[in-house]
């Protein structure tokens, strides 16, 4: 199944709207953190990761440890990829930034990207046209 970025955002919004009221634990990471080619939206129940033409939804809440470290465990990616592609994010909250190791695992193996994401900044997906690759 292929989902465009707008469809992924709409699906996430629907899930949030239909969820029960939930008070997250103290220290829960919330808000938007973005940078080149990536955005993380931390909510009280889910975390939405957006990448170029793909993304993933992780169960929340996320409460970083005393060092600011957290892990979004491996989950299937949505978008142009098949469900055999997995995304894992290992992050460290440092002030208003997240230093993230983005691990992508698929049939061809595993790759790791380093990303710096800033609170209150949307992901920069300029120069990419995902709609062109959609059927």
Phi, psi of 67 (to 5 degrees): -90, -5
73-82, 103-112, 120-129: least confidently modelled range: 73-82
Whether 40 has a pLDDT exceeding 70, the answer reads: yes
> In the chain, how many domains are there?
1
Structure token digits, residue 19: 């969820």
pLDDT value for 47: 96
CB atoms within 10 A of CB 69: 12
Cross-strand pairs, 59 = 46
Q: What's the angle, vertex CA 4, arms to CA 39 and CA 110, rounded to 5?
A: 60
Averaged over 8-23, what is the pLDDT? 57
Averaged over 41-67, what is the pLDDT? 92
* Residue 12 within a domain: yes
- Give one word for 120, left, alpha or beta, with left for phi > 0 and alpha for psi -120 to 50: left
* Residue 62 within a domain: yes
* Residue 129 within a domain: no
């Amino acid at each position: 199944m292929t989902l465009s970025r707008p469809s992924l955002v709409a699906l996430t919004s629907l899930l949030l709207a239909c969820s029960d009221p939930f008070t997250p634990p103290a220290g829960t990471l919330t808000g938007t953190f973005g940078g080149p080619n990536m955005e993380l939206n931390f909510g009280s129940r889910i975390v939405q990761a957006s990448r170029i033409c793909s993304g993933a939804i992780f169960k929340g809440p996320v409460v970083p440890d005393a060092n600011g470290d957290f892990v979004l465990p491996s989950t299937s990616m949505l978008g142009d990829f098949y469900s055999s592609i997995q995304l894992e994010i290992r992050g460290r909250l440092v002030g208003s930034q997240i230093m993230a190791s983005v691990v992508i695992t698929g049939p061809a193996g595993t790759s790791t990207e380093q990303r710096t994401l800033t609170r209150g900044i949307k992901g920069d997906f300029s120069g990419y046209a995902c709609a062109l690759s959609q059927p």
